[in-house]
Structure 1
Amino acid sequence: MRGVERDRDDAAEQGTVVTPSAEFPPLGAEERAALGRLGARWHGPRRADDLPVDPTLGRRDHHPRPTRFGRLTPIDLFTVAQPDELVATGPAHLPGDRSGRVLGRLRRTLVGPPLASSSVLYERMRKLVALPVLSSDLLSSVAYGPEAMLAVLVLAGGTALGLALPLAALLVVLMIAVGLSYRQTIPAYPHGAGSYLVAGDNLGRTPGLAAAAGLMLDYVLTVSVSVAAGVHAVTSALPGLTRWTVPFGVLVIVVLLAGNLRGVRTAGNIFVLPTYAFVVVVLAVLAVGYAKAAGRGFTPVPPPAVPAAEGLGLLLVLRAFSSGAVSMTGIEAVSNAVPAFRPTEWRNARTTLGWMVAMLVTLFAGLVGLIHLDGLAPRADETVLSQLGRVTFPTGPWYPILQATTALILLLAANTAFNDFPRLLFFMARDGHAPRRFLHMGDRLAFSNGLVALALAAGVVFVAFGGHTERLIPLYAVGVFLAFTLSQTGMVVHWRRRRGRGWRRRLALNAVGATLSGLVLLTAAVAKFTEGAWVVVVAVPLLVLLFRRIHRHYSSLHRALALHPPPPHAPPGPAGSAEGEELPQQVRHLVVVPVARLNRASLRALAYAASLGRPTLAVHIAPEEAEADRFREQWRAWGDHLRLETIVSPYRSVIGPLAHYLEALHTARPELTLTVIVPEVVLRRRRHRLLHSRAEQRLRAALRPLPGVVVTSVPVHVSH
């Protein structure tokens, strides 16, 4: 994590790492100095330009020539960019890997051809594309947020539904306050204003990790809830499909994954039309519905008589309020995805967020008011929005259009999570709190590993809860409002420390957002604790602990691998441990060649070992004395060119005695580097591997944990 005193230039530098180069961070100043000191003490072979092969592959005078199959020869996969640098002309499959080529073609069909790293500057979104991509989660929540609130109120009977209007008014105030808070967070963190970064920079590492844990749970639940609500919208119109809820939902998650693996711009183009169509259709419902209500003088239709299952109390009202607050999930999406916008990134992001909040308030308040005027109540067999559509459009094609667009945006609303979850993992991996594989950009410049992780987690949650929206909603609000609260509290600290122009007004606005978000957080955690919110309450600290353990591992790894040269005037003698060598003059070799039988493979390995010009020892494991005598006789017939040590293993084990013998050698001389050269037969056909013991792989696995042991193989290729 960056320190709390990081200035704007540091923030800009941090934001520029959202490129494929982020996997390869540069050395710090101390390590660069150490590298220079080590280089000055290097007494090994110097750079030689008279190599036995031209490293440029003769590209300066070479013209591409295809093979008879129409493919470029291996030499044509590279072009010269500048001295000592080649550029690969395209992604290459592994040599001789036929199955890899087949899988590569299938992958190209699903996700498209790979993009060059330089295209990352163009894989960004303009505002009209970013709005539907990043707001699909936020806007789609109006399809189930009002219903979630009403579903709690109706437990106290039909008369309690009248409380929906004041609760909706409070929620609108909350939406505006949080929206304005994030609008000023974006320019303060113009290269990524996610809750993880803001809370971590201003409140410390643990609050930042807690915000990240809350957001991660929110993103997983966003996918699960959105898909579940979308499937419910489909089954409301087509009840016969209800029994296919779970398979249909899993299929949708797979389709979303495939679409996002194709890249930001492609995914944006896919999801533009459904979002805008949903907004237009819902606005049409509101216009026609309020026009009908005006015709009867805005007199509300009495709601149906519903018997009370619970008493109307403060706890039930708080539960209803926190359930309605799920309509705000996704409001932080823009601040997390600032680097995905076209320049000027923060300005375009802030404008997009303003549009999103305005649309959310309009749709949410309009739907709650119209539901109240039409006297609708939640039903188990049909969504409230579907009922509203039937009342507003009793005839004509508008009701099917409403259901179709609702189902589409709900199913595609998970795209917001697919956009932000991998980016959050990227920032966490950059700081060492998540596996570094999440730094990797895939073929289409998308964070493929993060996308796959999200799809798997959401699929498991969706299947575990049977695709029921009402079972998932109680888990939903705690994580996201934890992130809201920590982010806005972090901004309060930010303004107090920076004290720039207008800082008091900005601080007050973020303080209001933090306070309201904190109240919703406490309400949701307490009111819905027994309904499932306890899962999130328990999961957040466990995730924080996991993130800290990952960071501890990477910190230990960095300390172990960091460059720490000896003092400038230290003697260049051997190091105390074979793994402490950083200079050629410190390395002391012993080459060990395990030999099972004298054949072409073992003789080639022995020849290779002897060519290195280092002390070489051959080792043979025999199951009994008689076989050991026979092998020594064959060794003398060969000429006894190298020292042979024979080990009798009366229990017929080979790998174990050899590994223990090498460990004993290293214990006797810990400054030695044992280079184990293993002869390996490479078979052309995979099915033939079943006919061999694969002892080379087992030996390599057994020796890998031993310190000071280097394992290499000398392959002999079998052509049939």
Structure 2
Amino acid sequence: MVSRLKRFLIGKPMKSTHLEDEKLSKLKALAVLSSDALSSVAYGTEQILLVLITLGFAAIWFSIPISIAVLGLLLILILSYRQTIFSYPSGGGAYIVAKDNLGTASGLVAGGSLLVDYILTVAVSSSAGTDAITSAFPSLHDYRVPIALIVIALLTILNLRGTTESASVLAYPVYLFVAAVFVLIVAGGVKLMVEGVHASIPEWGSAVNNISLFILLKAFSSGCSALTGVEAVSNAIPNFKKPAEKNAAMTLVMMGIILGVMFLGISLLAYGFGIAPNEKETVVSQIANATFGRGVIYYAIQAVTALILFLAANTAYSAFPLLAFMLAKDKFMPHMFKVRGDRLGFSNGIIMLGVLSALLIILFHGDTENLIPLYAVGVFIPFTLSQLGMMIRWLKVKPAGWPVKLAINTIGMLTTLTITLIFIFTKFSQVWMVFVFLPIVIFGFFRIQRHYMNIADQLRIDIDEEKPHIKGSTIVIPVAGITRVVLHSISYAKSLTDNVAAVYVGFDEEEIRRMEEKWEQWNPGVRLIVLRSRYRSVMRPLIKFIDTVEWKTAETDHITILIPQFITKHWWQNLLHNQTSLLIRAYLYNQKDIVIATVPFHLNR
């Protein structure tokens, strides 16, 4: 039943030889890896206006120069990450760059920040998509959490089906959103040129009371949330068709151009129509309403906006498993993240991302607006470390044209460092969790690595000196009576060695006498050792006996505890029986360096 459901949801297993077929073309990669960055158009301008509106409506004209400054930062990031792609074509982005040039600790800070950011990406994107739906249909506001959880479940299943299949599905809504936004920008621009700007909008350059550099920097840093997801292409280079680095670089440039045009266009329309942020209606919804009214086109734009906001999470589904794989390969995360699933994706990473983001949605009741600054800081820390790492690389390697490359990365590092500090100082009350949670994540990375290193040290042998030591064998069989299960176990034990002992734990003398008489009558060729238990415990006398056997024979014999166990036909029937064999096996497994084996006997009714 479970297997059939799994096959229905994620499809039939794929051969490892088909891995190359799962690589992405530029157009599919643009849809999968740019959905996060492109979707930020839906809330980037709004984040700027939310800060400016605190000074009054007259301050909204500042949104235009701030938007242009954000585009300048976007240009720097595109140029910087394009250099990273060609320098590190194996992928890994900020984690690999920082680890290679700045040291392991810096690499883990970058990698840990990105992992947390990808979890936040899914949570924030799902919530933002839900907000777009509730803007159009306010009656659904109370169902925000279930809607977001359903979307996360669908995206998780879609990505478990494989990279190519998910890309084929996601390409249509992503490009539909791009087309819809361009239609909105053109139609809105034409309407403003024909009818003029909104009468109440403040004049460009007009004075604003209480304006300060602090407020402008805060608005700028909020607008920089539109740049989250830019690094995803450099993280996922191995997912591209060959030549991977050239295709990745072209995809990055295309994403930058599309994102820049759409972001500036939305900012200009918001100013032209005199849009102010509204708790119950998004800025994009207000622009669409002002341009087309609440007709078919309005609802179509809202639908594709909601869809792209939901699908923005898919960037994280592409990048998180690959980054987790690289960290696991370096022994900083569990090895399970290195395993490819039935459909050749890193399914454990996909499932973990879905579960953790769903928990965030539940904990914050679908209201993740306060997570956006945290989400942005999680990106700008790796941005800064990546730029600094590339600066060190150019100074060490000094390839042709390195001064220009160094200048680009230096400007990028100083800019992203400034943004990070602005976030910290202007929104400390919202981002302080980074300074608590990130060290815990880094500590976890080092603990995991130490565990793997300790295991390697203890399991490693000298193949020139150490050879298998041949010893005899002693088998101990715990028995509760004379049954077919015990017969089956004794037959197997005697096929291995003649040194077999059956152990019976009795609670009263009459019971012990009957067992000894019955055993003598049966005479299976194996001696019965009776242990008396004064406190009605099977475990205590049995463990004490095993300790004695181990002490006497450990040097000469391998000790095997052979546990007879019958397997019921139906799972619920297990509830009707004592599970002493499970307790014995669990205790010995965790306490003893001896062989523990189970001889199953399957019941058929």
Fold similarity call, TM over 0.5? yes
Residue 121 (str. 1) matches residue 20 (str. 2): yes
Structure 2 counterpart of 1:552, from 444, 450, 456: 450
Q: Is the CA contact (8 Å cut-off) linking 2:99 and 2:108 kept in structure 1?
A: yes
Greater alpha carbon shift after TM alignment, 316-325 vs 428-437 = 316-325
SS of the counterpart of 1:368? helix
Match of 2:333 in 1: 434
**Residue of structure 2 aligned with 1:691, choices 546, 554, 576:** 576
User: Where does residue 190 of structure 2 map in the other structure?
Assistant: 291
- The whole-number CA distance in structure 2 between the counterparts of 1:299 and 1:718 is 81
Match of 1:224 among 123, 136, 143: 123
Q: What SS does the aligned partner of 2:411 have?
A: helix
1:362 maps to which of 248, 256, 261: 261
Secondary structure at 2:365's aligned position in 1?
A: coil
Q: 1:348: how far off?
A: 0.4
Inter-partner Cα distance in structure 2 for 1:158 and 1:423: 45
Find 1:533's aligned residue among 425, 431, 447.
431
With over 3 angstroms needed to count, the CA separation of the structure-2 counterparts of 1:170 and 1:667, relative to structure 1, is farther
What letter is aligned with 1:541?
P
Question: Which of 656, 670, 673 does residue 558 from structure 2 map onto?
Answer: 673
- 2:486, 2:94 → 1: CA distance? 59
* Contact 1:525-1:537 at 8 Å conserved across structures: no
Residues 263-283 of structure 1 deviation map (CA, whole Å, 9 limit, x = unaligned): 111111111111111111111
Q: Which residue of 1 aligns with 2:595?
A: 710
Task: Tell me if the contact between 2:474 and 2:497 (Cα under 8 Å) persists in the aligned partners.
Answer: no
**What corresponds to 1:394 in structure 2?**
293
Which whole-Å deviations, capped at 9, do the CAs of 1:32-82 have from their partners, x for residues lacking one?
xxxxxxxxxxxxxxxxxxxxxxxxxxxxxxxxxxxxxxxxxxxxxxxxxxx
The answer to whether structure 1 residue 143 and structure 2 residue 61 are counterparts is no
User: In the alignment, which residue of structure 2 is the partner of 1:623?
Assistant: 507
Who is 2:349 aligned against? Answer: 450
**What secondary structure sits across from 2:268 in the alignment?**
helix
Aligned counterparts of 1:118 and 1:236: Cα–Cα separation in 2: 47
Matching of residue 517 in structure 1 with residue 398 in structure 2: no
Unaligned runs of 5+ in 1: 1-101, 569-581
Read off the aligned partner of 2:357 and give its amino acid letter: A
CA distance in 1, matches of 2:298, 2:147: 22
Asked if the contact 2:321/2:337 (under 8 Å) is kept, the reply is yes
Q: Counterpart of 1:154 in structure 2: which amino acid?
A: I
Find the aligned partners of 1:418 and 1:269 in 2 and give their Cα distance.
15
Contact 1:666–1:708 (Cα < 8 Å) also in 2:
no
Task: Determine if contact 1:673/1:708 at 8 Å carries over to the other structure.
Answer: no
Report the more deviating stretch, 339-348 or 494-503: 494-503
The one-letter amino acid paired with 2:456 is H
CA distance in 1, matches of 2:99, 2:155: 31
Q: Partners of 1:666 and 1:566 in 2: how far apart?
A: 29
Identity, % of aligned pairs? 40
Confirm whether residue 635 of structure 1 aligns to residue 519 of structure 2.
yes
Aligned AA for 1:691? L
Deviations 1:318-359 (A, max 9, x none): 221111111000001111111111111111001000000111
Q: When the two structures are superposed, what TM-score results if normalisation uses the length of structure 1?
A: 0.80
Go from structure 1 to structure 2 and tell me whether the alpha carbon gap of 1:675 and 1:566 turns closer, same or farther (over 3 Å shift).
farther
Distance 1:314 1:109 in 2: 57
Residue in structure 1 matched with residue 32 of structure 2 by the alignment: 133
Count of residue pairs brought into register by the alignment: 601
CA distance in 2, matches of 1:392, 1:501: 51
Take 1:464 and 1:254, find their aligned partners in 2: how far apart are those partners?
17
Q: Which runs of 5+ in 2 are unaligned?
A: none
Equivalent residue letter for 1:403 = Q
Looking at secondary structure, tell me which structure has more helix per residue. 2
Please tell me whether the aligned partners of residues 303 and 377 of structure 1 are also in contact (alpha carbons under 8 angstroms).
no
State the partner residue of 2:251: 352
Mapping of residues 162-311 of structure 1, within 5 Å: 162-295=61-194, 302=201, 311=210
Q: Secondary structure at the match of 1:378?
A: coil
Cα distance, 1:428 vs. partner? 1.0
Q: Secondary structure at the match of 2:521?
A: helix
Tell me, yes or no, if the aligned pair for 2:158 and 2:166 is still in contact at 8 Å.
yes
CA contact (8 A) 2:192 2:272 kept: yes
Asked whether the equivalents of residues 300 and 373 of structure 1 are also in contact (C-alpha less than 8 Å), the reply is: no
Aligned-partner SS, 2:370: helix
Structure 1 residue 395: Cα displacement: 6.7
Out of 533, 542, 550, the residue aligned to residue 649 of structure 1 is 533
Letter matched to residue 151 of structure 1: L
| 1:382 has 2:286 as partner | no
Aligned to 1:606: 490
Distance 1:629 1:718 in 2: 29
TM-superposed CA distance for 1:693, in Å, is: 1.0
Which residue in the other structure is 1:658 paired with? 542
**By how many angstroms is 1:152 displaced?**
1.0
**Counterparts in 2 of 1:110 and 1:705: CA distance versus 1, 3 Å:** same
Shift in Å, 1:670: 4.2
Deviation at 1:604, TM superposition (A): 2.4
Equivalent pair of 1:336/1:424 in contact (CA under 8 Å): yes
Structure 1 pair 538–310 and aligned structure 2 pair: CA distance change class (3 A): farther
1:496-519 deviation line (CA, Å, top 9, x unaligned): 222222222212211211111111
2:218 counterpart of 1:333: no
Contact 2:361 2:368 in 1 (8 A): no
Q: Deviations over 1:98-126 (max 9, x none)?
A: xxxx1111122111222112111101111
How much has 1:430 moved relative to structure 2?
1.2
Q: CA deviation at 1:487?
A: 1.3
CA distance in 2, matches of 1:630, 1:239: 77
CA contact (8 A) 1:655 1:699 kept: yes
Give, in whole Å, the separation in 2 of the partners of 1:711 and 1:469. 50
3-state SS of 2:58 partner:
helix
The answer (yes or no) to whether the contact 1:117–1:445 under 8 Å persists in 2 is yes
Residue 303 of structure 1: CA displacement?
5.2
Contact 2:92 2:326 in 1 (8 A): no
Higher RCO structure (Cα 8 Å, ≥6 apart): 2
Change (3 A) 1:687 1:193: closer
Partner amino acid, structure 2, of 1:257 = T
Are residues 699 and 390 of structure 1, via their aligned partners in 2, closer, same or farther at CA, if it must alter by over 3 Å? same
CA contact (8 A) 2:225 2:373 kept: no
Q: In the alignment, is the contact (CA less than 8 A) between 1:300 and 1:372 conserved in 2?
A: no
In the TM superposition, residue 142 of structure 1 has moved relative to its aligned partner by 0.8
Report the counterpart of residue 475 of structure 1 in structure 2.
374
Deviation at 1:189, TM superposition (A): 0.8
Contact 2:197-2:273 within 8 A present in 1 as well: no
Residue 635 of structure 1 aligns with an amino acid whose one-letter code is W
Query: Given that residues 81 and 231 in structure 2 are in contact (C-alpha distance below 8 angstroms), is that contact kept between their aligned partners in structure 1?
Result: yes
| 1:375–1:621 distance in 2 versus 1, CA, 3 Å | same
Aligned to 1:154: 53
Match of 1:466 in 2: 365
Distance 1:208 1:300, change over 3 A: farther
Q: What SS is found at the alignment partner of 1:704?
A: helix
Q: Distance in 2 between matches of 1:216 and 1:478?
A: 12
Q: Which amino acid aligns with 2:515?
A: F
SS for the counterpart of 2:290 is helix
> How far 1:300 sits from its partner (Å)?
7.8
* CA 1:208–1:107: 2 relative to 1, 3 Å: same
Please state how far the C-alpha of 1:617 moved relative to its aligned partner. Answer: 2.4
Report the Cα distance in structure 2 between the residues aligned to 1:536 and 1:113, rounded to whole angstroms: 41
Aligned match of 1:4 = none
Residue 306 of structure 2 aligns with an amino acid whose one-letter code is A
CA distance in 2, matches of 1:397, 1:618: 81
Whether the 8 Å CA contact 2:473–2:497 is kept in 1: the answer is no
* Structure 1 counterpart SS, 2:590: coil
| CA apart distance, 1:155 | 0.8
CA–CA separation in structure 1 for the residues paired with 2:548 and 2:114: 51
**CA drift at 1:668:** 4.5
- How far does residue 399 in structure 1 lie from its aligned partner after superposition? 1.6
* Equivalent of 2:586 in 691, 698, 701: 701
Q: Deviations over 1:551-607 (max 9, x none)?
A: 111111122222334638xxxxxxxxxxxxx5152x342211112212222122222
Hey, what's the Cα distance between the residues in 1 that align with 2:437 and 2:103? 20
> How far apart are the structure 1 equivalents of 2:36 and 2:280?
24
Give TM-score scaled by structure 2 length: 0.95
